[in-house]
Amino acid sequence: MFKRSVITTFAALLILLSNAQTPSSIPDPNKAPCADVKTSRPSIMVIPRVKEGQDIRKAIDDDFNIRIAIGKVQEAFNNRGFTTYDFVAKLKAATEEGVFTMENQSDYKTQLLQYASPDIYAEVEYEATTQGGTTVTKLILTGYDNYTAASLGTKPGSRGSNMNDPGLMIEGILNDGLADDFLNTMQTKFTEMIEDGRQVVVTFSLAEGAMIGSFEDGVAAKGDEELQTVIEDWVAERAVKGNYHTPRVVARKMIFEDIRIPLRDPVTCKNYTVTNFGKAIIDFMKKDCLLSASRDVSGARITVTIK
């Protein structure tokens, strides 16, 4: 009777141990669930290149050939398996939802890209000139990281013909290798960002009358460790693969020229933006350092003001 009871107890213990989470089975926030995704393709929105002060909403109305060019480029990207966001459809939806609220026309492009949220946007430049009966069509594609506006590469293409059919000419240029060359470059750059992180510049600044006088002063909430050390340790822990440039401390500023942040939240796989990283810095300042701070985000630049 006693022997059977011992065996039963031992079996129950084995079941409990097998169901318990071991340290190796606990999800690692740095490797779950999208850290293994190395070959995902970026989403792309094809847009017209606009001049300074030009309203992007009217660009395709001012030149119908630009509309044709955008459509042909998008079609070429789709045929090669890339996810694209339709410029005209997104423009219409953004207009209906009242996205365009600022008076400065140059900001409409920024607002549209924020609304659509592609990984990459590709600007299209189109030009056709006729001389001696020959029409020379030029097409230039330039890709940008949507979250930092960093240029990822430019590919030009051209073709001459006695035909005057913009659609056929653009198709010919794209199929001559322009589309493949451009997309290969975008894929390479995007994969590099997935693996090595997106570059951001972060400047920490001490406001007049701040609670802490210099970056060499100790932070009481962190055992009186110097503020500059506290900040750099936090950055080192969160930079992708620990990649960041050693900061410069000048007067009342501490400047990181290059910090690599992830493209995706490592746990949710959702887009991780420069704004998200800025918010994380403010949370760290307030909750861990007990310091009041504000942030300003412009493209790939974050300015943190410690008050």
Helix boundaries (H) for 97-158: 107-116
- The helix (run of H) or strand (run of E) holding residue 115 is helix 107-116
* pLDDT single digits (tens) 147-200: 888 999 999 999 988 777 889 999 999 999 999 999 999 999 999 998 999 999
CATH number listed for the domain at residues 44-195: 3.40.50
When the pLDDT of each residue in the chain is averaged and rounded to a whole number, the result is: 85
pLDDT for the residue 196:
93
Q: What band does 56 get if pLDDT is binned at 50, 70 and 90?
A: confident
CA distance 141 to 130: 22
pLDDT for the residue 20:
41
CA 120 from centre of chain: 8
- Domain positions in the chain are 44-195, 197-306
pTM of the model as a whole: 0.77
AA identity, residue 167: G
- Count other C-beta atoms under 10 Å from residue 28's C-beta: 11
CA distance 232 to 246: 8
Q: Are strands 301-306 and 198-206 parallel, antiparallel or unpaired?
A: parallel
CA distance 282 to 172: 51
Mean pLDDT calculated for residue range 134-144 = 94
- List residues bridging with 127 in a β-sheet: 138
pLDDT for the residue 105:
56
